Structure 1
Amino acid sequence: MSEDDSTVLPLNVDFTAFHVFFSLQGKEYSFNLHNVPSPKDAGTMSLRDAKMQCEPQLQALFRGFEHVLQQRLSQSTDVAAFVLEVKDILERIIRAQANCVLLPDSFYSLLFSEIEDIGWEHISFIGDDATALQFRIFDIVGREHSVRVDLQPGYPDKVPTISADLPKALELNWWSGAGLKHILSQCRKAIDSFQDFWTVMEDIDRKAWVLEPVHPSRAISFRRIALGGHCSLSITVDALSPRTLPEYRFFGSENSVAPLRMRVINNLNRWKMDMLLLENLESVLELVIPSRQDIGNEDSSADCGICYAYFIPNAYVTGSDPCGEASRPDRVCENLNCGRTFHGACLVEWLRSLTTTRQSFDVLFGHCPYCSHPIAVKNSI
């Protein structure tokens, strides 16, 4: 806020009305205050009932911010304090106006003409200066897709940037004379190319218990699926060939997952490209992949056996959480009849609390909280 160079002049002998003038960024402003409490009431003084009367220039600047001024009046205990509040509000308004630069009329004429040609019903959002647009596109089976287009001040000579809920980034083909219609045409073509990918992923989300991501977007090709028996499977699907064998990794005790790995290797000949991915996984794994309802809450495929949660913030683990990430259960009891999973940090805290725990270098050796089977974890987690 600017240095205080305001002047406050009383308008009556009771000191209940004042004329205030001040300068800000080289300009002069003034206003009057009426119904100010008398100094004899200073012990309970408040400007809550005071009335502010601005000169025309200041009144125009404060238009739309009257409620803010009234709030600051009610919170101020004297005229000098309120003047500082007025200058602070005005300075913020002037700064905001300076940052709001409208583009030439030709830009808006071209833009609105293009939107009229496309149809306003396809727009779900438009920014204050109209350089940020969000479009809705429906594919052949009725899925709604969101496409954001950010226009540069030199549009259409400068290439727009695009973000869409696609599993692979769209490389925009741009040329002289291209416009919004060409952007949406390329987006629709890309969306059409991923139809089978979304069919495969929706089949997984509908039938299996997906542990993560919790709320997948259409751009995400990764899934971690609960298999029951304290085991889970993570897969990364090829968006361009979604029915091929995906990259995969099993989670669980070695006794539980080793047979599953061998089944994938031995049964690859069962993989059929005319079948959906989940059906193929069931065929090569020789099991029915359960839904959440099938597994029930008694299975610990998802949750830590100590804190009973799946995600815990990394702040709990490291003392800081700069990326907002979370830790998942990554320690497993190797007892085939137990197989409970734990967050490494939870297991460290549990073992530290027991007098029977032994430590060798940075490794803690103890027993599973559920079955007393030997279990070890690094103390540095």
Structure 2
Amino acid sequence: MAVLEGVDHEVYISTPHFPSAVGLTLSTDCHLTSLITACHSHLLQGKIYQTVLEFLLKLQQICSSHINSVDCKGEGEGLAVLNKPLFDSLLMHLDTIGWSRVSQVSSDFTVFSLTTRDEGGRTHIMKVKVGTGYPQEQPEVEADLPNNITFSYNPSEGVVSVVDAWEKQLCAMQDVWQVLDELDSSALVLDPPAPPPRRAITRRILLENQVSVQLSVSLQHPRCFPQCHLLGPSRLTSPLAAMLLQNFQDWDLERSIKANLETILDVGVVCKKGVRAEGEQGRAREEGQGIECAICYCLHLEDALPDLTCDSCSHTYHLQCLYEWLCGQTNSRHSVNVIFGECPFCRELIMCKLPA
């Protein structure tokens, strides 16, 4: 995109032999074409330039000269100023990585995204930001991983060394993601919402007795017994907690998380939509029927799940929904930061804290 006299002009450049300018062609609208033809008609074919960079710098010079000649108020606008030393180094490094893996590039080449596929066929994206001191200056990187990318930066290799470290870290995560993918494909995951980010190693799943389990998988030993936190009414979670303590040694590394939990707790895990559940109770609870908030009938309220459960009827509620309901009842009462009242369904005593 070029900007002349405050007007955007789309520029299309074909570079069949990138980064060489051989065969380069340019096409744009009639206004910019007439300007280029009047002064530098050879630019339209790019015949006298060795590299695409030389061509872009010349195009920028032409646009800037025109802006200055008409005393345009938008001085300084136009094509992004390319840092030639940075561009030359980055071009060489991206050639090594492969241009097919470059998905997005900013106009000044300081921000770009790289893609790769791991051994399991999963696609990953890493965002890279380079400063004006590149390659001596270490780039900033951002990727969807549980931990930050750790690497020993080598200025002579530049971003190539970062990509190597990124791919090694992806390789080390294969067992973790395989375990989590198995769980995501078979169980109804309440949190995080689908599709879960690759950085998330925690899952909250639902059992058939309306108790949910929050699991945290170990990065070093993903198939071992995970950290488990039971959520629900105490009359239901207490027996399950006792069974976890009693039977955790029966955890089988050859079985999935879902199968292990069902064996140890003797309670079925609610299946994901489209996955067949076994038994009458399992079929009744398949696809997570009845787990949404009993007031708003939604599972997610912004980032919140229905975490409050009535000990009497086992209906679940969002904190915000239940609080607003109780505030509207004349027989509710407050005590410090807690409100007491009747459950909307069974009319038994229920309470909740004031929302933050």
Q: Does 1:269 align with 2:249?
A: yes
The answer (yes or no) to whether the contact 1:148–1:164 under 8 Å persists in 2 is yes
Deviation, 1:225, is: 0.6
Residue 120 of structure 1 aligns with an amino acid whose one-letter code is: W
SS of structure 2 residue aligned to 1:248: strand
Shift in CA distance, 297/117, structure 1 to aligned 2, threshold 3 Å: closer
The answer (yes or no) to whether the contact 1:329–1:342 under 8 Å persists in 2 is yes
Which residue of structure 2 lines up, in the alignment, with residue 310 of structure 1? Answer: 299
| Distance in 2 separating the partners of 1:65 and 1:284 | 66
Pick the aligned partner of 1:370 from 335, 345, 354: 345
| Distance in 2 separating the partners of 1:298 and 1:142 | 29
TM-score, normalised via structure 1 length? 0.68
Shift in CA distance, 133/254, structure 1 to aligned 2, threshold 3 Å: same
Deviations 1:185-212 (CA, angstroms, capped at 9, x unpaired): 2111111100000100100110000011
Deviates more, 1:257-266 or 1:191-200: 257-266
| Distance in 1 separating the partners of 2:272 and 2:346 | 25
| Distance in 1 separating the partners of 2:210 and 2:255 | 27
Deviation, 1:272, is: 2.4
Deviation, 1:329, is: 1.9
| Distance in 1 separating the partners of 2:244 and 2:88 | 60
Which residue of structure 2 lines up, in the alignment, with residue 238 of structure 1? Answer: 218
The answer (yes or no) to whether the contact 1:228–1:299 under 8 Å persists in 2 is no
Pick the aligned partner of 2:290 from 294, 300, 310: 300
SS of structure 1 residue aligned to 2:225: coil
Q: Does 1:207 align with 2:186?
A: yes
**Number of residue pairs matched?**
282
The answer (yes or no) to whether the contact 2:270–2:288 under 8 Å persists in 1 is no
Deviations 1:166-191 (CA, angstroms, capped at 9, x unpaired): 22111121124222332222111111
Residue 310 of structure 1 aligns with an amino acid whose one-letter code is: L
| Distance in 2 separating the partners of 1:106 and 1:357 | 71
Residue 309 of structure 2 aligns with an amino acid whose one-letter code is: V
Unaligned runs of 5+ in 2: 11-71, 274-282
| Distance in 1 separating the partners of 2:137 and 2:162 | 13
TM-score, normalised via structure 2 length? 0.72
Residue 374 of structure 1 aligns with an amino acid whose one-letter code is: L
Pick the aligned partner of 2:306 from 325, 329, 346: 329
Shift in CA distance, 357/94, structure 1 to aligned 2, threshold 3 Å: same
Residue 316 of structure 2 aligns with an amino acid whose one-letter code is: T
**Displaced runs of 4 or more, over 6 A:** none
Which residue of structure 1 lines up, in the alignment, with residue 8 of structure 2? Answer: 64
Which residue of structure 2 lines up, in the alignment, with residue 343 of structure 1? Answer: 318
| Distance in 2 separating the partners of 1:110 and 1:380 | 53
Q: Does 1:165 align with 2:140?
A: no
Residue 243 of structure 1 aligns with an amino acid whose one-letter code is: R
| Distance in 2 separating the partners of 1:165 and 1:138 | 13
Pick the aligned partner of 1:228 from 185, 208, 212: 208
| Distance in 2 separating the partners of 1:176 and 1:327 | 45
Q: Does 1:118 align with 2:97?
A: yes
Shift in CA distance, 278/376, structure 1 to aligned 2, threshold 3 Å: same
| Distance in 1 separating the partners of 2:327 and 2:114 | 54
Higher radius of gyration, 1 or 2: 1
Shift in CA distance, 342/102, structure 1 to aligned 2, threshold 3 Å: same
| Distance in 2 separating the partners of 1:298 and 1:149 | 40
Residue 61 of structure 1 aligns with an amino acid whose one-letter code is: E
What does 1:76-87 align with in structure 2 at a 5 Å threshold? none
Deviation, 1:327, is: 3.0
Deviation, 1:286, is: 2.1
Unaligned runs of 5+ in 1: 1-58, 67-89, 314-325
Shift in CA distance, 141/127, structure 1 to aligned 2, threshold 3 Å: same
Residue 189 of structure 2 aligns with an amino acid whose one-letter code is: V
| Distance in 1 separating the partners of 2:6 and 2:249 | 74
Q: Aligned-residue CA RMSD in angstroms?
A: 2.5
What does 1:136-151 align with in structure 2 at a 5 Å threshold? 136-151=115-130
Identity of aligned residues (%): 28
| Distance in 2 separating the partners of 1:182 and 1:357 | 63
Shift in CA distance, 121/253, structure 1 to aligned 2, threshold 3 Å: same
The answer (yes or no) to whether the contact 1:282–1:288 under 8 Å persists in 2 is yes
